[in-house]
Structure 1
């Protein structure tokens, strides 16, 4: 895929379909109904729509969009590819309002397209834990949503949930590697420990701030160091949480500057979007083109049914 927006795959539905077929089926079509790799023929002629295949093993018919987030969409495929590229190439995201203007579709359609693409970006399962011997993972939490005056941690709030209208985001970042973000109900050892021990290799070095919820879980790792932000300490040798803080700065600029407000229901998909772009960033040698292709490879096996945009979701 190329960054040239005049590329035929962004302008012509047939070219887009051929590109998606080559991306999803590099070794030839696979029946989404029975998984057959052979005895599949392409249906030609005016009686059949372009890109239709028939599996002679199960007698099912299918196209490249069956079994994906694009299935049963009436939006031309070239607009799907362009929307995917734009969302993958925009570091701080792209609003549904912007997509609706650029693609010439309604806002409601653009909103739903964007959520389907975010679902494609979401990792259905993680390949393994972060970190390992000699590696460092930083953990921290931040608060998003609500009015600007409420967007900072409220120490007096019971359970340390961050105050009215705010949602808690807990992220783990491996230095020089990937990030995994979670929308959690509150910040305490009970909610964070299961994530820490499931997502981080116990042989890792864990870096956090001085908050009490990390004290006991930190003992389960090879090493746990903290920095005392309350005392103005942010770096002490290798002890710091600057990597995860840098990720939060990108996330917050996107939420505040691009999406303005996201609903509690859909926050997990926005986190998947920002995680995906960070994990497939240019600093790791991934180009915009490659990032968009990787997102397209994630469309399989995920479906979202249509619903009206949430009145609190202004993206």
Structure 2
């Protein structure tokens, strides 16, 4: 007979095991400026073991300035730093703070609020807000142009567009009706491989996603969807199995429970962490949650390295560089 302790260990969730914890925030915070700088170099130029590579021409022959942490390409004479040409270009904070921000960010199981990040780093809220979105953009770039195949679950859920109810009962309106909504409500449509990749997209309505689904799901795949009428068009392209949620969540043939699991994570991030993720930033938050779902079975140390590598390989953000200056104008 198995002991209670053995049974408990066998049923323990991965996130509660020691294997899930391979990153120490204390170690990252204790890095000196030189150690953080060398870490950035090793992650960005891993293929050359930390030796700088010109971001403009790709030349590996460079000069190193003795007085400043700058390099000069021997081929094209371009001057660059360890963050030049990356999403952290034109940085203002010390390099250690960026490493610490990424470590804090990936440690949040349901996300990390910009206000909390600003307190963790002792910086302005605007700085933390842009930094967090830059990290999200780098994470999302890993799925650019990706497709899904095999057994794919498709579903949609609406976010945002809150309408505050009136105080008096006589003045209250049915907020489910289109004419009583704000117009800001958007639907996140998820395409999720069973045991594989999760791809989110944002649309004004669920039926508008059919064309994107047909383009993103590879031919020969089996699609699982609910009873909504707009999914009928999927039968022409894929073997499609349907589940009527008014009767059951799974009937042994079809279910969308993995898609619902993603929406549960996104909804908890909205309610418990960010409180407002709708509007033009909904896609960024959905992509972040998809990244967390895709990498939920690897340790936080590996996630930290993946997120840092993605940020240092990502080009300058056209959306977030100078964001507050453009907003002010």
Q: What's the TM-score bracket when you normalise by the shorter of the two chains?
A: 0.7 to 0.9
Structure 2 length-normalised TM? 0.81
Structure 1 residue 308: Cα displacement: 3.2
Q: 2:301 pairs with 289, 300, 315, which one?
A: 289
Q: Which runs of 5+ in 1 are unaligned?
A: none
Residues 242 and 125 of structure 1, relative CA distance in 2, 3 Å threshold = closer
CA contact (8 A) 2:139 2:310 kept: yes
Hey, what's the Cα distance between the residues in 2 that align with 1:254 and 1:91?
9
Distance in 1 between the 2:30 and 2:291 partners? 22
**Match for residue 63 of structure 2 among 19, 33, 41:** 41
Q: Conserved in 2, the CA contact under 8 Å of 1:172 and 1:181?
A: yes
3-state DSSP of counterpart to 2:213: helix
Matched, 1:167 2:189: no
Matched, 1:298 2:310: yes
SS at match of 1:308: helix
1:10–1:16 CA contact under 8 A, matched in 2: no
2:35 counterpart residue number: 15
Q: Is the 8 A contact 2:114 2:125 kept in 1?
A: yes
**2: distance between equivalents of 1:170 and 1:309?**
32
Cα offset, 1:72, TM superposition = 0.6
* Structure 1 runs of 4+ with >3 Å offset: 8-11, 124-128, 154-158, 162-165, 308-311
Q: Does 1:64 align with 2:87?
A: no
Return the alpha-carbon distance in structure 1 between the equivalents of residues 325 and 300 of structure 2: 28
How large is the Cα RMSD of the aligned pairs?
2.6
Q: For 1:61-210, what aligned pairs fall within 5 Å after superposition?
A: 61-123=79-141, 126=144, 128-131=146-149, 135-147=150-162, 157=178, 164-188=183-207, 191-210=208-227
- Specify which of 274, 279, 292 is matched with residue 259 of structure 1: 274
SS where residue 97 of structure 1 aligns? helix
Shift, 1:32, TM fit: 0.7
Counterparts of 1:92 and 1:252 in 2: how far apart (Å)? 9
Is the 8 Å Cα contact of residues 141 and 168 (structure 1) preserved in structure 2? yes
Aligned residues: 292
Counterparts of 1:12 and 1:306, CA distance in 2 = 28
Following superposition, the deviation at residue 309 of structure 1 comes to: 10
- Structure whose CA Rg is larger: 2
Q: Tell me, yes or no, if the aligned pair for 2:185 and 2:204 is still in contact at 8 Å.
A: no
Deviation digits for residues 112-138 of structure 1 (CA, Å, limit 9, x no counterpart): 11111111111265464211xxx2100
* 3-state secondary structure, aligned to 1:122: helix
Which structure features the higher share of helix residues? 2
CA distance in 2: counterparts of 1:21 and 1:115, whole angstroms: 23
Q: Report the CA distance between 1:13 and its aligned residue.
A: 2.6
**Gapped regions of structure 2 (runs ≥ 5):** 1-20, 166-174
Report the Cα offset of residue 144 of structure 1. Answer: 1.1
2:250 alignment counterpart: 235
Find the aligned partners of 1:107 and 1:128 in 2 and give their Cα distance. Answer: 33
Which residue does 1:29 correspond to in 2? 52
Q: Deviations over 1:241-281 (max 9, x none)?
A: 00000110001100121000024121221122111111122
TM-score, normalisation: structure 1 = 0.85
